[in-house]
Amino acid sequence: MTASKGLIPEGFAAEWIAAWNAHDLDRILAHYAEDAMFRSPIAAELTGAGIVEGKAALRAYWTKGLDRSPDLQFELETILMGSGAITLLYRNHRGQRVAETCEFDQAGRVIRSVACYASLP
């Protein structure tokens, strides 16, 4: 089963997690379309808005985030598949459970992503 034409969810998830764990911003951003939109309560804390729009804004936002969390690591728990979308359920470096839903364009790049966080354990 695939979330989008040509997209293999397990491959996407493995590469996405590896890019974040390597703190490789170019590798992370390679997964996103130029006009991608990201929603997160953490974005609201860092930028004053809960939405980050466009690849340049994502670069600026995630640069701040990676600088702020040098020990950031993700551990994938499972992948949920939808129509043109997947949800990655993972734990972050604080042990916090995160569900991130990514919607894809026809080229397999993320066009919309929403991150939801559980309370800290």
CA distance 32 to 16: 10
| Amino acid letter, residue 67 | D
CA distance 102 to 37: 10
Residue 96 pLDDT exceeds 80: yes
Tell me the whole-structure pTM to 2 decimals: 0.90
CA distance 35 to 29: 12
| pLDDT averaged over every residue in the chain | 92
Parse the chain into domains and list their residue ranges: 9-115
Residue 121 pLDDT exceeds 60: no
Token code pair at residue 51? 């939405």
Topology classification of domain 9-115: Nuclear Transport Factor 2; Chain: A, (3.10.450)
